[in-house]
Amino acid sequence: MKKYLLLLVMVFSFTAFAGTGGKGTWTGYISDAHCGAKGNNAGHAACAKKCVKEGYAPVFVVGDKVYAISNPEKVDNFIGDKVTIKGTITDDAIDIKKIKK
């Protein structure tokens, strides 16, 4: 019985992990690499714009998860905004196909 329970836990863990990547649509904030997950709110917009202007890379924040953006030119007009992104997540980076407020 313990073996089956352990196997079941492993399957659910793998399924939960596998569901976080791949192609899909996610909603979150465009923040900056300096502040990361602290940029997961509308009140951080001015700081995110300042930090990106100072040279920090823009990042995509969903909850407490921070993703690098493989094509950052697509978010130039969305720094600090809450957005919905359609794309592909591989490891900890997102490739943006479509972005909208």
Model pLDDT for residues 51-87, shown as the tens digit of each residue: 999 999 999 999 999 999 999 999 999 999 999 999 9
pLDDT at 10 over 60: no
Q: Residue 46, class by beta-carbon neighbours within 10 Å (0-12 exposed, 13-18 middle, 19+ buried)?
A: exposed
Domain chopping of the chain, boundaries? 23-100
Q: Which two tokens stand for residue 26?
A: 């996610």
- pTM value is 0.79
Local structure of 81: helix, strand or coil? coil
Between 25 and 3, where is the model more confident? 25
Distance in angstroms (rounded) separating the CA atoms of residues 65 and 40: 9
As a whole number of Å, the CA-based R_g of the chain is 16
Taking the C-alpha atoms of residue 59 and residue 19, their distance in angstroms, rounded to an integer, is 20
